[in-house]
Amino acid sequence: MRKQPSTLNFLLFAIPLLLIAGLTTACDETDPFSFEDDFSMVPEPYDTLTADLEVRTNGLRIFTHDEGDGLFGITERDRVDLFYTFRLSDGNIVESTYANGNTFPNSMNLPTTIRGFREGLIGKKEGGTITLVIPPALGYGSDPNSPFQNDTLYYDILIDRIIE
């Protein structure tokens, strides 16, 4: 004799399916879990015309706006707190620590960053402000999965503190 499925078993199976179907059809441009960053509080790009420029043989350009007043310079193995804005050559902002009204720096381990970013920060001190112009070869040029593979990257950086 075969047992008939109970109403409870049917509901336990049907309700999750209905929820999934409802969520997939309801997720359009008004998806409450999808948002774009608000860059309205991001500072304007630093003025590179008044900065000291260092051009490296590998194409990295470092504009120093303020040397900073820290006692030590950043080393390649350091973890640092930074405020930064990452832009492309057309001026469009890709990422910023100031996005969405944020007022806290981002903590970064330099060994895990792209080469141009890491090289540009080495030797810089707390309180310093710089602009890095990173050619593709020192950025994401070797990453076939990056949307920035062929882009020159522009970073405006304020070095908040060297953590370790």
pLDDT above 90: percentage of residues in the chain: 68
Is the pTM above the cut of 0.95?
no
* Whole-number Å distance between alpha carbons of 135 and 141: 8
R_g of the chain, CA atoms, integer Å: 24
3-state secondary structure at position 8: helix
* Whole-number Å distance between alpha carbons of 164 and 161: 9
| Confidence at residue 9, expressed as pLDDT on a 0 to 100 scale | 55
Summarised one tens digit per residue, pLDDT across range 47-105 is: 999 999 999 999 999 999 999 998 999 999 999 999 999 999 999 999 999 999 888 89
Give 125's DSSP letter: B
Asked if pLDDT for residue 25 goes beyond 90, the answer is no
Give 105's DSSP letter: P
| Confidence at residue 143, expressed as pLDDT on a 0 to 100 scale | 86
- The pLDDT of 33-43, averaged and rounded, is 83
Give 70's DSSP letter: -
Topology at the third CATH level for domain 48-162? Chitinase A; domain 3 (3.10.50)
Residue with tokens 């003025």: 47
Beta bridge partners of residue 96, listed in sequence order = 85
